[in-house]
Homo-oligomer: A and B are copies of this chain.
């Protein structure tokens, strides 16, 4: 069968167009929305991502500053910086980049980001709001999976979705969002027995394990939808997904490309969250 490409560029453009309008309206009222990125690593991939966020923000009329605490920052220093930014009324949104320094765990420091500015939904409080259905920002990557499916008219209610990966930033919050959409959700991971059998039972497979090429044609049943959240560095330095696209082509009913699938939608949703946070703080 022909495997449809679930591109994210069109949806990202639509979202960005609305975000730019809302950012302009805020700027007209005297204050453009302002995002601060907090970095505590010297990881090249993180540096690349920070630059791409700055570019995206700039195009949309969102001010974007970066605070670099260095790769040896302590948990206390990171928490203190995050608290200061959250107390600053000139800052609408705060994002903490990963990786973090050794011995610093994300939930330990992310709890210093107040929910109203936690535009990537990483703090325990934001995740609790998500779990209970209260208003808050869901992690943008998880939300991007759901929005990409909706954009391509892929129904979720009553469908069986296998999420491969149980991270706090993608797999687990995505399970919450999918349950809220009335999907039946299976969360698989490195300890899952017979992964191909589990994923092949699903109507939709979301690959979010962070392992290049993990999901092959053997993991996917004929006609299933495959959404690839992976962003791994390939052998030639290019970004590759968690799905072995060549192996899945012709068997899956649809596959989201990497790059150009979930990625641009994630960035667009993050920027929409920034504008929402700014609107709420000025309301």
List residues of A (95-121) whose CB comes within 8 Å of B's CBs: 106-108, 110-111
Q: What is the bound-complex CA distance between A186 and B187, given in angstroms? A: 6
Contact B123 A128 (CB under 8 A): yes
Q: Does A146 make an interface contact (CB < 8 A)?
A: no
Q: What is the bound-complex CA distance between A149 and B259, given in angstroms? A: 43
Q: Assess A134 versus B160: contact at CB under 8 Å? Given A128-B128, A172-B179, A176-B172.
A: no
Contact B179 A184 (CB under 8 A): no
Q: What is the bound-complex CA distance between A123 and B134, given in angstroms? A: 11
User: Which size bracket describes the interface of A in this complex?
Assistant: 35 or more
Residues of B within 8 A of A191 (CB): 157-158, 182, 184
Residues of B within 8 A of A173 (CB): 131
Residues of B within 8 A of A187 (CB): 175, 179, 184-186
Contact A134 B108 (CB under 8 A): yes
Contact B184 A192 (CB under 8 A): yes
Q: What is the bound-complex CA distance between A175 and B193, given in angstroms? A: 17
Q: Does A124 make an interface contact (CB < 8 A)?
A: yes
Contact B182 A189 (CB under 8 A): yes
Residues of B within 8 A of A192 (CB): 158, 160, 184
Q: Does A168 make an interface contact (CB < 8 A)?
A: yes
> Copy number of this protein in the oligomer?
2
Contact B124 A168 (CB under 8 A): no
Q: Does A133 make an interface contact (CB < 8 A)?
A: yes
Q: Does A37 make an interface contact (CB < 8 A)?
A: no
Residues of B within 8 A of A129 (CB): 107, 124, 128
Chain A 151-181 interface 0/1 with B at a Cβ cutoff of 8 Å (1 = within): 0000001111000001010001101100100
Contact B189 A184 (CB under 8 A): yes
List residues of A (15-49) whose CB comes within 8 Å of B's CBs: none
Q: What is the bound-complex CA distance between A124 and B126, given in angstroms? A: 8
Q: Does A248 make an interface contact (CB < 8 A)?
A: no
Residues of B within 8 A of A128 (CB): 123-129, 131
Q: Does A278 make an interface contact (CB < 8 A)?
A: no
Q: Assess A186 versus B189: contact at CB under 8 Å? Given A127-B131, A128-B127.
A: no
Q: What are the 10 closest A-B residue pairs judged by CB atoms, nearest first?
A: A128-B128, A124-B128, A107-B132, A182-B191, A186-B186, A127-B128, A184-B192, A158-B193, A127-B131, A124-B132
